[in-house]
């Protein structure tokens, strides 16, 4: 499908069962593969990104069996992949590419990892530099600092009982996640020092939580030093269920706040380990009515009005919700005042340069946008959204999902809607369950 036309919405209300979290799904798949024992995984996200991880694990010799619609049995390899020579294609799945680079670099095989052209534009030098400190033998097969990569057998830099490594924290949390997940395989006490400001800290909390599920504790001091004790081994917890995706929840919660609601999402709630659950608090700051249970969140417009609008602009440091912050950028179109989203430089290194892409597409809808190196300043159009804008999505699933919310203010065309397959293949079907359009 080349495009999808969304008419103006006339009503927003309903309940959505969320798909499994992408971030948790790919972490759990890799940890289950590395562990001792067999793990049954339930409610796994079905998407391009998880498909790439499942394919890669199978190529590496891991026994993967589908046991139900979104359930798999993974037979752990106890720390060493049986296949020692493989070519792995990982699409644009950063949550698969970065951790696999780290894990394979500490093994004794010969591997080549590649992806789509956009993946080959996403920097990976900071992770490679950190792994080389440990003795990893990694070569760039294209532009230095970027995939594709060749990994040769690991040659430890020292024979002592400890690994010490430094990694930059201000570019991508996935680099630190990769190191954290890989280093227990060495059996040595490992210390990771993080330089610069650690971005997306909640994603590191997520990594540590999943590692604990598989029996490996990690100590940290002020999110700057991480210590993995010696003689650690991943052990299967037996069964594990994936909670709903908090980033995906943001689109439906925003719809409830913009379009009166109520809209309830099920599968994620107050006890979530995902940082993007804090998106609900940002909506509350904007004036939305939010209620939350153990496994659900509900949003609606409050009775208060801000110059005729349900929502008011906010000024927010978005370091803790980098993906969900994109949803705030579109929500800002429906708020009274000027919205400032700060500390979002990591957007430039995602599936596309999201700062530039978001600025371009918001302007099509009539917004005045100031794009900084790490911020967006968004002034909504004074006389409503420009109707029938054709939104380009840049092969970026989150661009398509975010801008679907524009239909709450004007008819809109979403180009290449099928790019949502990366994380949420049936997104538009789910959206139609809660958004009732004028043509209906």
For the segment 114-132, the average pLDDT, to the nearest whole number, is: 96
Looking at residue 347, the DSSP 8-state letter turns out to be G
* pLDDT surpassing 70 at residue 305: yes
Other beta carbons within 10 angstroms of residue 312's beta carbon come to 17
- Specify the higher pLDDT residue, 155 or 150: 150
**Average pLDDT value for residue range 92-104:** 96
- Confidence band (pLDDT; 50, 70, 90) for 228? very high
Whole-number pLDDT of residue 348: 82
Which sign does the torsion angle of CA 252, 352, 169, 26 carry?
Answer: positive
Residue with tokens 């093994």: 107
pLDDT-derived band at 283, boundaries 50, 70, 90:
very high
Residues in the chain: 440
DSSP 234-290: -B--SEEEPPB-HHHHHHHHHHHHHS---EEEES--TT---GGGGHHHHHHHTTEEE
Residue range 297-304: mean pLDDT, rounded: 90
Question: Between the CA of residue 263 and those of 67, 106, 202, 435, what are the distances in Å?
Answer: 32, 46, 25, 10
| Contact predicate 47/425, CB 8 Å | yes
Tens digit of pLDDT for each residue in 394-407?
A: 999 999 999 999 99
For residue 287, pLDDT beyond 80: yes
Q: Which of 84, 190, 94, 174 is nearest to 134 (CA)?
A: 190
Mean pLDDT calculated for residue range 141-154: 97
Q: For 74-135, where are the alpha helices, taking DSSP H only?
A: 94-105, 125-134
pLDDT at 384 over 90: yes
Q: Residue 312 is encoded by which pair of tokens? A: 């008011």
As a whole number, mean pLDDT of residues 209-221 equals 96
Q: What is the pLDDT of residues 351-376, one digit of tens each?
A: 889 999 999 999 999 999 999 999 99
Confidence of residue 262 (pLDDT cuts 50, 70, 90): very high
Which whole number is the average pLDDT over 297-325?
89
Query: What's the confidence (pLDDT) of residue 224?
Result: 94
- Position 440 pLDDT exceeds 60: no
Q: Which DSSP helix (H) or strand (E) runs through 59?
A: helix 48-59
Q: In the predicted model, what is the mean pLDDT of residues 401-426?
A: 96
Would you place residue 439 in the very low, low, confident or very high pLDDT band (cuts 50, 70, 90)?
low
Question: What CATH superfamily classification does 22-225 receive?
Answer: Enolpyruvate transferase domain (3.65.10.10)
What is the average pLDDT value for the chain, to the nearest integer? 94
Enclosing H/E stretch for 377: strand 375-379
- Judged against a pLDDT cut of 50, whether residue 246 lies above it is answered with yes
- The per-residue pLDDT for range 8-64, each reduced to its tens digit, is 998 899 999 999 999 999 999 999 999 999 999 999 999 999 999 999 999 999 999
Within a 10 A sphere around the Cβ of 338, how many other Cβ atoms? 15
Return the pLDDT at 352: 84
CATH architecture for the domain at 3-19+245-437: Alpha-beta prism (3.65)
pLDDT > 70: percent of the chain = 99
Percent of the chain exceeding pLDDT 90 equals 87
Instruction: Express each pLDDT in 230-241 by its tens digit.
Output: 999 999 999 999
- CA distance linking residue 209 with residue 163, whole number of Å: 22
Catalytic residue among 323, 392, 396, 416: 323
Q: What does the pLDDT read at residue 374?
A: 93
Domain parsing of the chain, residue ranges: 3-19+245-437, 22-225
* Catalytic residue status for 245: no
What pLDDT was estimated at residue 302? 85
CB atoms within 10 A of CB 41: 23
* Interval 165-169 mean pLDDT: 93
- Find out whether 191 and 162 touch, Cβ atoms under 8 Å: yes
Question: What Cα–Cα distance (Å) separates residue 75 from each residue in 85, 94, 150, 243?
Answer: 20, 24, 26, 21
* Domains 3-19+245-437 and 22-225 alike in fold: yes
């Amino acid at each position: 499908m080349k495009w999808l036309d969304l008419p103006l919405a006339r009503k927003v209300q309903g309940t959505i069962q969320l798909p499994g979290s992408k971030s948790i799904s790919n972490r759990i798949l890799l940890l289950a593969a590395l562990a001792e024992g067999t793990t049954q995984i339930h409610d796994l996200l079905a998407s391009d990104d998880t498909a790439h991880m499942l394919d890669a694990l199978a190529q590496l010799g891991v026994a993967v069996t589908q046991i139900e619609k979104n359930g798999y049995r993974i037979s752990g390899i106890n720390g060493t992949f049986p296949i020692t020579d493989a070519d792995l294609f990982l699409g644009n799945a950063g949550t698969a590419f970065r951790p696999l680079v780290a894990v394979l670099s500490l093994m004794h095989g010969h591997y080549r990892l590649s992806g789509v052209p956009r993946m080959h534009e996403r920097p990976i030098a900071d992770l490679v530099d950190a792994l080389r400190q440990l003795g990893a033998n990694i070569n760039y097969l294209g532009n230095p600092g970027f995939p594709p990569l060749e990994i040769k057998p690991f040659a430890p830099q020292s024979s002592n009982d400890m690994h010490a490594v430094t990694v930059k924290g201000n570019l991508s949390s996935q680099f630190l996640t990769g190191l954290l997940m890989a280093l227990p395989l060495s059996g040595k006490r490992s210390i990771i020092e993080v330089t610069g400001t650690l971005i997306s800290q909640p994603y590191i909390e997520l990594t540590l939580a999943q590692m604990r599920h598989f029996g490996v504790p990690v100590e940290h001091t002020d999110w700057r030093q991480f210590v993995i004790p010696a003689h650690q081994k991943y052990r299967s917890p037996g069964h594990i269920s994936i909670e709903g995706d908090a980033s995906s929840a943001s689109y439906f919660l925003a719809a409830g706040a913009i379009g009166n609601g109520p809209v309830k999402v099920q599968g994620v709630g107050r006890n979530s380990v995902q940082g993007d659950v804090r998106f609900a608090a940002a909506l509350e700051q904007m004036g939305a009515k939010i209620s939350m249970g153990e496994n659900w969140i509900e949003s609606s417009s409050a009775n208060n009005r801000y110059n005729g609008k349900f929502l008011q602009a906010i000024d927010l440091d978005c370091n803790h919700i980098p993906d969900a912050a994109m949803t705030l950028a579109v929500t800002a179109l429906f708020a009274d005042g000027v919205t400032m989203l700060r500390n979002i430089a990591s957007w430039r290194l995602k599936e596309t340069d999201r700062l530039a892409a978001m600025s371009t597409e918001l302007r099509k809808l009539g917004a005045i946008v100031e794009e900084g190196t790490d911020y967006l300043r968004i002034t909504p159009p004074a006389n409503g959204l420009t109707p029938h804008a054709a939104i380009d999505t840049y092969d970026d699933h989150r661009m398509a999902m975010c801008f679907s919310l524009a239909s709450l203010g004007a008819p809109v065309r979403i180009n290449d809607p099928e790019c949502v397959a990366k994380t949420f293949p049936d997104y538009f079907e789910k959206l139609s369950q809660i958004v009732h359009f004028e043509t209906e």
